[in-house]
Amino acid sequence: MRYAAEALAGLAMLLAVLTGAAGGLVSTLLGAGGGSPPSQYAMADIPAGYLTLYQAAAATCPGLDWAVLAAVGDIESDHGRLNAPGVRSGRNSKGAMGPMQFLGPTFTAVTARHPPPPGGASPPSPYNPHDAVYTAAAYLCDSGARNNHDLHTALLTYNRSEDYAADVLTRAARYRASTSPDTGGQPSPAALTAAAFALSQLGQPYQWGGDGPQPTEPPDRPARTTGGFDCSGLTRAAYAAAGIEIPRTARAQYTAGPQIPPGQPPQPGDLIFYGPTAATVHHVGIYLGDGKMIHAPHAGDVVRVAPYRWPGDDLRGVTRPALANY
């Protein structure tokens, strides 16, 4: 299956913790398993017929978000618009066919188990958009997407590439309109990538001045890692994973902004700062949604998820580094 390289690999890491301690937060962050309405971008980018198909086909698999299915269709064939071998006829260099780029044996096996509903070709054809989209939904469902059990594995079954899975989630986030007042709007792919990277570091030890695990062996030897994070080391590394450079210390990160007006709810990926004044900011975390953040708390602790507000906290403010990179 075709892969268009522009992936944000951190998002795939985020899906890998779906069954871990932050599972519910991850589902909230990505809107997994939801029937969220399409964003303005989705309505402009996806042909109306395909949008209807994605929504209808996703409904046949409990827990499968139509936006994920649409993102697969976007990558594979630009929703059937790609003028390339195998999309409307023939096969591509890997033997894949149709707008959802199925291998022949896979399409045959899936349609035997899950015949597409009336409205397609007879017999079902991988080149028919109706048949292809419903079969893609069934394939993802059987592979782990049902009830949001393991979407990460489902995407890797569709294409065995972590970058591919990340790209699907990045595009799905753009297609999905935000429905949660807690997020204050739709977080950018860069913000989601930063949050994803931070979640992938759950359990790393706190280390003052730490910038995270570092390779200790030359590239030609098996790598070992050492080191942990302090609070601002984690946030800096998270945004570096999204291609955004921010200062090293919490105080400098707060000053760098851009700052969000007081009273405006934070979005996933925003940085949450603590300190009695701007000049004495002493801590920072990454907001995840649902009133939670991920942070490196203090010596003797590990990177963990925690509430971002508590009685007597000295919350100073919120910044949105991704905002300066739109």
Domain ranges in the chain?
A: 10-175, 189-218+226-325
How sure is the predictor about 41, in pLDDT bands with cuts at 50, 70 and 90? confident
Which range scores top for mean pLDDT: 96-100, 190-194, 276-280?
96-100
Local confidence band at 216 (pLDDT 50, 70, 90 cut-offs): low
> Looking at the DSSP assignment, which residues form a beta bridge with residue 173?
none
DSSP characters over 36-95: PPBPHHHHHHS-HHHHHHHHHHHTTSTT--HHHHHHHHHHHHTTTT--STTTSSS--TT-
189-218+226-325 has the same fold as 10-175 = no
Rg of the chain on CA atoms, in Å: 21
**Could you give the C-alpha distances from 33 to 59, 65, 229, in angstroms and in order?**
10, 5, 32
Assess if CATH 3.90.1720.10 describes domain 189-218+226-325.
yes
Burial status of residue 213 (CB atoms within 10 A of its CB: 0-12, 13-18, 19 or more): middle
Whole-number pLDDT of residue 14 = 41
- Tens digits of per-residue pLDDT, 117-164? 988 999 999 999 999 999 999 999 999 999 878 888 999 999 998 889
Q: Mean pLDDT across the stretch 302-326?
A: 87
Topology of domain 10-175 in CATH is Lysozyme (1.10.530)
5 Rama class: left (phi>0) / alpha (psi -120 to 50) / beta: beta
* Secondary element (H or E) of residue 242: none
pLDDT in tens, 253-296: 999 989 888 888 898 899 999 999 999 999 999 998 878 999 99
Residue carrying structure tokens 């990277």: 197
Residue with the larger pLDDT of the pair 324 and 101: 101
Measuring CA to CA, which residue among 11, 49, 10, 9 is closest to residue 32? 11
The beta-strand segments (E) located in the chain are 96-97, 102-103, 214-215, 225-226, 271-274, 283-289, 292-295, 304-307, 315-319
pLDDT greater at residue 78 or residue 192: 78
Closest CA to 127 of 149, 143, 112, 111: 111
Across-strand partners of 268?
Answer: none
Q: How far apart are CA 126 and CA 47, in angstroms?
A: 19
Would you place residue 194 in the very low, low, confident or very high pLDDT band (cuts 50, 70, 90)?
A: confident
Residue 172's pLDDT is what? 86
Q: Mean pLDDT in the chain?
A: 83
What is the pLDDT confidence band of residue 185, given thresholds at 50, 70 and 90? low
Distance CA 289, CA 180 (A): 9
Name the percent of the chain lying above pLDDT 90. 55
- 179 pLDDT higher than 70: no
Q: What is the pLDDT of residue 19?
A: 31
Asked whether 99 and 46 are in contact (CB, 8 A), the reply is no
The whole-number pLDDT of residue 190 equals 81
Q: What is the pLDDT at residue 202?
A: 86
What is the Cα–Cα distance from 305 to 202, expressed in whole angstroms?
8
Answer whether residue 33 shows pLDDT above 70: no
DSSP state of 142: I
The whole-number pLDDT of residue 2 equals 35
Q: Is 63's pLDDT higher than 70?
A: yes
Angle between the N-to-C axes of helices 151-158 and 129-140, in degrees from 0 to 180, rounded to the nearest 10: 130
pLDDT at residue number 187? 73
Residue 27: its pLDDT value, please? 44
pLDDT of res. 182: 41
- Based on the number of CB atoms within 10 Å of its own CB, is 291 exposed (0-12), middle (13-18) or buried (19 or more)? middle
156, 118 Cβ separation under 8 angstroms: no
d(CA 297, CA 305): 10
Span 248-257, average pLDDT: 94
